[in-house]
Structure 1
């Protein structure tokens, strides 16, 4: 087994005060940093994704231009490449990230699987090259980009865990629905592992 961690869109525009700020986003950013401090060595690959939209067009209809956004498949302008809104939130310390990927460059994109690394590699190719069999997913937002990432990872044949205390959703109803959908598709929904639990699993005598 070779495990990866996907950290989805922990960006200023998706946390409180941003263009599409999610309640609890800043807390999740800090909690992910704490988790990495204890668990980065558990992973063969750590990937962080960011929306990285074009400034001079509607990104394939992703940005609402002439009408109000419907917040389903059209949105206010957000995470424009090179702007502060597209930056990682400062509470998310990226020192342990192996690969940074951009997605939504001129087109709608939700899943981190649609991202492209700085060297031009596509995420599915990176996962294959590293022999990744299992993926843990955290980040923002549970009911949109986290959901899409999880469903794509499952569709690519990976075993997936979602740490529900390291994600934040847009709305309670859609968050619950997304978690149920991911679980029904085969993902394990759980709290983040703790050091105590890991140590216990290593020291407990088999029955």
Structure 2
């Protein structure tokens, strides 16, 4: 774990993964502790917005017939169905007015874990001149991991904010394995607090 070696700069963007109601305690597919991330992520979003650097927020946006749902033969309970309350961003998440919202998991035949899978995010980042992503949200061992690994494959640098992610850990050790995979692939994992406004 690194700390203090990385600082946001021009050409960076904040990528907030799936901070939606269905992933919070009491939701359809709760990620333990996900609600404890809200204030930390809000501080990061405010910092990026204050510098006019892009803030991007993904959301699972599944059709009713999505293949990941157990009722359709998949592994997960029904969650984040398009236009449902559970698919909304969690109460208290303070996104800037110009946030870029990326819908993922729209294709019923694909899990859609990654923010880059059939979303057009790669093109949008190029248009914005983004070279490095600061990543936070849920879940560390699924959508966060998939998004980080795909970003690295696209040639982007990635900083993972370890204090602003939570995992599911369906199998004990999944989160640790995911962190190791991301680090081995080239992600910089930091436990930094939000920098003071400059």
Report how many aligned residue pairs link the two structures: 185
Match of 2:165 among 164, 167, 178: 167
Match of 1:91 in 2: 92
Equivalences for 1:17-166 in 2 at 5 Å? 17-42=26-51, 44-55=53-64, 57=65, 59=66, 61-65=67-71, 74-105=75-106, 106-107=108-109, 108-114=111-117, 116=119, 122-166=120-164
* 1:109 to 1:66, Cα distance in 2 relative to 1, 3 A: closer
User: Which segments of 5 or more consecutive residues in structure 2 lack a partner in the other structure?
Assistant: 1-9
State the structure with more CA Rg: 1
Using the alignment, how far apart are the partners of 1:34 and 1:136 within structure 2?
A: 13
* 1:94 to 1:194, Cα distance in 2 relative to 1, 3 A: closer
Match of 2:21 in 1: 12
Contact (CA 8 Å) 1:26, 1:91: kept in 2 or not? no
CA offset at residue 23 of structure 1?
A: 1.2
Which secondary structure does the structure 1 equivalent of 2:116 belong to? helix
CA RMSD across the alignment: 1.9
TM-score normalised by L of structure 2: 0.86
Using the alignment, how far apart are the partners of 1:82 and 1:21 within structure 2?
A: 19
CA offset at residue 115 of structure 1?
A: 5.6
User: Which segments of 5 or more consecutive residues in structure 1 lack a partner in the other structure?
Assistant: 117-121, 200-207
CA offset at residue 128 of structure 1?
A: 1.1
Using the alignment, how far apart are the partners of 1:92 and 1:23 within structure 2?
A: 17
CA offset at residue 189 of structure 1?
A: 0.4
* 1:152 to 1:42, Cα distance in 2 relative to 1, 3 A: farther
Match of 1:182 in 2: 182
TM-score normalised by L of structure 1: 0.82
Contact (CA 8 Å) 1:40, 1:96: kept in 2 or not? no
Contact (CA 8 Å) 2:43, 2:194: kept in 1 or not? no
